[in-house]
Structure 1
Amino acid sequence: MSRPRSRRRYLQLLGSASLGVAGCLGRDGGSPSPTTEATTTDEPTTTYGPTSGPDERVTATPPGDPSLSPSGAWPQYRFDAGNTGYNPDVSVPADAEEYWRLNAGGSPVLDGDRLYNLHGRGRDRRALVRRDPATMAERAATPLVGYGVNSPPVVAGDRVVVTTFIEAFCLAADRDEVLWRGPEMDGIHGPPAVGDGVAVVSGGGFDGVPTQLRAFELADGSERWRYDLESDAKGAPAVADGAVFVVTGDAVHAVDLATGERRFRVEARTSEWTTPVATTEAAYLTTRDDELLALAPTDGTERWRSPGSGAPVVADDVLHVAVDGETATLSRDDGREAAARFSGAPHARARETMVVSGEQGRLAAYDTGEERQLWAHQTPEVQVADVISRGVSAAVPVDGAVYVVAADGFHGLGPARD
């Protein structure tokens, strides 16, 4: 049986698994165009699970029961356009338990009373789905294309942007309607970043296709600019300080958001799958040498470097990064460790609560002020054919709930009940 356990591989998956699977199928020519007709096809009440070994099946039919009572927003992959993974305006339940586990698609984004994600296991097509965040009941599904859709989408006001392997789609947030799509740009592997009315997409991680960063007007999809990256970039872009930051296999690029002019290019031993994190004070990224770099956002000057793997979570005056299977808390000023470590790699932070997970599929929440564990949740392993899988690819916290995408399904965690 195959059981991948490499820590380096785990951290790579943690940084990229929630981006979804674009695939390398290219254009299929006969893919159907998206429809604006509401699609509410009921899923069969079947289950999926292993062909042998541990049986961890989950229902394929939402809604979940009992209902969660979530509130708050998580509008983009890693919360905001800078990919900080930090929402100071929501509080994770101090004592949480599982309310339901469903076959309900990939990593979610939320905006008020709507949750958006992409269909996952067991579907014969790919679709953007609007759901009830309390139960995951499907409200509407918009079919996109058959060859591959990247996850998760981005909510920006009254619009939702999502990328396929070759183009971007912009849909209405409150109804089943495609507002614009395109143009074709083969090799999109990650989600877009949306900031200041602009959707930025990185494409070209595909043989024989120019690698470009492109910016589109959110209002109508018209192209604002394009920038040649020269080598593959498969992570998500970051937007902060009036610039777009993207990492290729050999460099870090900063591009002016308004004009597309290069701000800087800094050579580094990086991976094309790296997702940078950016604020007005610094751009952060990790290298192939398991080092976290902090660069000045204006000219790329190195401010400091420290041990670290995967995308960090950046809070007000500290940041959290994976070091040797633990979450280290570093000062944003100089990169020195500023608090005790937590067991597991960082996913997200909500106010004073850090959410982490380990290689064995264990999710935990820690109080960063008191440096103590609040609760833990174990996700089971699943076996399909001869492959055993276990692990958490995404954890999204809001007030009253934590949504967890794991190898065995989509978990809804809420406050512990009496």
Structure 2
Amino acid sequence: MATGDATPGDRTDVYGLGAVTYYTLTGQSPKEPDAGSRRGVDSESRPRASTLNPDVPGEFDEVLDTALSRDPQERYATPYEFKLATLFDSHGQASPAGSGGEGDGSGEARSEERGRPTGAGNEERAVADEAEGDPEDTDRGAIGGYPVTRRAALGVVGLGVVGAAGWAATERLGGSDPPDAVPMFQYDAGNTGYAPDVRGPRTDAEVVWTAESPPQVLQPIVAGGTIYLGGVDRVLAIDVADGSERWSVSDPDRATVDPEGFWSLPAVTEGQAHFVRTRRSNEGEVEATVHAFDADDGTALWQSESVTGNAPQPLIPTVTGDTVFFSAPNGIHGVDIADGTARVQLDDWPDPGLFQAFDDERLYFTSRDGLYALDRDGWTEQWSLEDSFGWGLTAVDDSVYVPSSTEEGPAVRAVSASNGETRWTVPLEDRTLGPIAVADGTLFAGTREGVLHAINTATGGTAWTKQLGQGTGPPAIVTGDTVYAGTLEEELFALDAADGSERWTMEVPDVSGLPAVVDGMLFVSGSEQLFAVSEP
């Protein structure tokens, strides 16, 4: 047997299933234990699945390490528990059932029943139960040379189904790009600003290179080893490794026709970089046009028909499904990512905010007179709130979070995504500077007074506050357990997301944008420079 146990048992099955899962994900078998040994594989001597297959979430390594532990008592108690870990722990901290504590590190309390999270619904439980098979069926067989019972073998099928479903859900929420990307503003179509599987500079930081950049870039967009920037007169693609230019596209008409025009920051997906170009036509109207470039070499692929308006404004495109959305003074527009043909035109709501937020069912946006939710099937209004709202907007977990102004002063508000009812309102000492981030049950918002607030999204209670400096910019990305934020005093901070304790701080001249964090690196724009920051 793989563990050398004298008699077959559940923990032996767990080891076998873990080994089969590891092989399925990596194409390699974990190192076999010595004959007759009661010990399994040392996790330190086995390559982690995420290093062999970049599509495997880093948290899933913890699930496999538990299943393949040397000590049988440290493994999941049953194949069912292993299955639950793939369902619920693969995006949080893995722990075998019965390990104690009030939670499992994933933000959900455990019930008394076989370690099942209390948040697991009947449907998820039914999937797991069906995959496990008949608990009385203990006929033994082997998969990939590892002995398992017949019910555990049936569980392999369940593991494949639920694992694929879990990763598919992650891709739907975070976009089709891998975790080592910031493919659009605030990472995803919900503007969460949260990248749970990304690691940034954590213990210390230093600038490793700088590169010329268009001025006042709101946020670098990073995908496929390339940084994409938009400016007044060109779009630019830069290599993440050394800051060298990969390609650029200039606008020859800018000086003579379009003194007020500019390129937006992009949204990158399906090998295309989508920018929105605004320019003033010869007739004096402001035109907004979506341009698609080949993300690798900058080849122009298509451009949409122009949308006209009466004033230029910064534009922030969002890609969801097969449509590129952007706001213009005369409404919200969507074009097909394949060829730029018009797909959506929502002109009943003039002067929408700079960007929108999406979930699976609705589109959310702010306007001069309130906050709106439209059904994505027919683009009909589902609800609205009349009030004064800021331009930050995040949709996640059936809630919409947005800065607002009340009679008492600035605040941040949580409303139900289903019906627009206010769930809580938290007063702030001053207005927020830009968007907010929501990560694993905590909202982060920075204010003009230089305070970063961490707020419990379930209750609206304050988790912690941190005075950083004059004018705290919004955290663009919360990666894993680290929050990155900057100030108007040209400082960057890395903070522990749990308690706000400082991990490092550094000066970056003329910081004017929000950071992007990708694959151990942080990128942020200065006045006309891009800074790349990593651990020493």
TM-score range, shorter chain: 0.7 to 0.9
Identify the residue that residue 315 of structure 2 maps to in structure 1.
Answer: 190
Say whether residues 1:283 and 2:397 are aligned partners.
no
- CA deviation after TM superposition for structure 1 residue 277, in Å: 1.1
Amino acid of the structure 2 residue aligned with 1:227: L
* Counterpart contact for 1:213–1:229, Cα < 8 Å: no
Structure 1 gap segments, 5+ residues each: 1-70, 121-125, 205-210, 381-389
Say whether residues 1:199 and 2:318 are aligned partners.
no
- CA deviation after TM superposition for structure 1 residue 370, in Å: 5.4
Amino acid of the structure 2 residue aligned with 1:232: D
Amino acid of the structure 1 residue aligned with 2:497: T
Identify the residue that residue 141 of structure 1 maps to in structure 2.
Answer: 248
How far apart, CA to CA, are the structure 2 residues paired with 1:217 and 1:397?
28
Structure 2 gap segments, 5+ residues each: 1-178, 279-287
How far apart, CA to CA, are the structure 2 residues paired with 1:200 and 1:243?
13
Identify the residue that residue 460 of structure 2 maps to in structure 1.
Answer: 335
Tell me which of 242, 249, 255 is aligned to 2:361: 242
Say whether residues 1:352 and 2:481 are aligned partners.
yes
Percent identity for Structure 1 against Structure 2 = 23
Aligned CA RMSD, in angstroms, stands at 2.1
How far apart, CA to CA, are the structure 1 residues paired with 2:488 and 2:532?
20
How far apart, CA to CA, are the structure 1 residues paired with 2:236 and 2:247?
6
How far apart, CA to CA, are the structure 1 residues paired with 2:503 and 2:320?
34
Identify the residue that residue 178 of structure 1 maps to in structure 2.
Answer: 300
SS at match of 2:418: coil
Say whether residues 1:151 and 2:264 are aligned partners.
yes
How far apart, CA to CA, are the structure 1 residues paired with 2:377 and 2:324?
11
Deviations 1:135-190 (A, max 9, x none): 12111112356232243101112222111121111222223222221221134522
How far apart, CA to CA, are the structure 2 residues paired with 1:270 and 1:95?
37
How far apart, CA to CA, are the structure 1 residues paired with 2:295 and 2:324?
15
Identify the residue that residue 311 of structure 1 maps to in structure 2.
Answer: 435
Bigger radius of gyration? 2
Say whether residues 1:398 and 2:518 are aligned partners.
yes
How far apart, CA to CA, are the structure 1 residues paired with 2:494 and 2:512?
14
* Counterpart contact for 2:237–2:245, Cα < 8 Å: yes
Identify the residue that residue 204 of structure 2 maps to in structure 1.
Answer: 95
SS at match of 2:464: coil
Q: CA, structure 1 residues 259+174, in 2 after alignment: closer, same or farther (shift >3 Å)? A: farther
* Counterpart contact for 1:103–1:410, Cα < 8 Å: yes
Q: CA, structure 1 residues 393+115, in 2 after alignment: closer, same or farther (shift >3 Å)? A: closer
Q: CA, structure 1 residues 318+111, in 2 after alignment: closer, same or farther (shift >3 Å)? A: same
How far apart, CA to CA, are the structure 2 residues paired with 1:169 and 1:258?
26
Name segments (4+ residues, structure 1) moved above 3 Å.
none
* Counterpart contact for 2:303–2:339, Cα < 8 Å: no
Q: CA, structure 1 residues 287+150, in 2 after alignment: closer, same or farther (shift >3 Å)? A: farther
> Going by fraction, where is helix more abundant, 1 or 2?
2
* Counterpart contact for 1:293–1:304, Cα < 8 Å: yes
SS at match of 2:296: coil
SS at match of 1:366: strand
- CA deviation after TM superposition for structure 1 residue 91, in Å: 1.2
How far apart, CA to CA, are the structure 1 residues paired with 2:231 and 2:243?
12
How far apart, CA to CA, are the structure 1 residues paired with 2:377 and 2:325?
11
Deviations 1:339-376 (A, max 9, x none): 34352443221111101112211111112235321111
Amino acid of the structure 1 residue aligned with 2:245: E
Identify the residue that residue 100 of structure 2 maps to in structure 1.
Answer: none
- CA deviation after TM superposition for structure 1 residue 191, in Å: 1.2
How far apart, CA to CA, are the structure 1 residues paired with 2:528 and 2:349?
38
Q: CA, structure 1 residues 315+396, in 2 after alignment: closer, same or farther (shift >3 Å)? A: same
Which residues in structure 2 correspond to 1:213-224 (within 5 Å)? 213-224=332-343
SS at match of 2:306: coil
* Counterpart contact for 1:238–1:277, Cα < 8 Å: yes
* Counterpart contact for 1:326–1:345, Cα < 8 Å: no
Identify the residue that residue 494 of structure 2 maps to in structure 1.
Answer: 365
Deviations 1:218-276 (A, max 9, x none): 222222221124432241111213222111122112223343222222211125xx131
Say whether residues 1:292 and 2:412 are aligned partners.
yes
* Counterpart contact for 2:231–2:264, Cα < 8 Å: no
TM-score (norm: length of structure 2)? 0.57
Identify the residue that residue 86 of structure 1 maps to in structure 2.
Answer: 194
Q: CA, structure 1 residues 260+183, in 2 after alignment: closer, same or farther (shift >3 Å)? A: farther
* Counterpart contact for 1:241–1:280, Cα < 8 Å: no
* Counterpart contact for 1:153–1:191, Cα < 8 Å: yes
Deviations 1:22-41 (A, max 9, x none): xxxxxxxxxxxxxxxxxxxx
Q: CA, structure 1 residues 290+172, in 2 after alignment: closer, same or farther (shift >3 Å)? A: same
Amino acid of the structure 1 residue aligned with 2:207: E
Amino acid of the structure 2 residue aligned with 1:85: G
> Going by fraction, where is strand more abundant, 1 or 2?
1
Tell me which of 221, 239, 242 is aligned to 1:132: 239
> How many residues are treated as equivalent by the alignment?
324
SS at match of 2:316: coil
How far apart, CA to CA, are the structure 1 residues paired with 2:302 and 2:375?
24
SS at match of 2:513: strand
After the TM superposition, which of the residue ranges 183-192 and 80-89 deviates more from structure 2?
183-192
Amino acid of the structure 2 residue aligned with 1:163: V
SS at match of 1:339: strand
How far apart, CA to CA, are the structure 1 residues paired with 2:334 and 2:459?
33
Identify the residue that residue 54 of structure 1 maps to in structure 2.
Answer: none
- CA deviation after TM superposition for structure 1 residue 75, in Å: 0.6
SS at match of 2:388: coil
After the TM superposition, which of the residue ranges 178-187 and 392-401 deviates more from structure 2?
178-187
How far apart, CA to CA, are the structure 2 residues paired with 1:112 and 1:176?
14
* Counterpart contact for 1:188–1:234, Cα < 8 Å: no
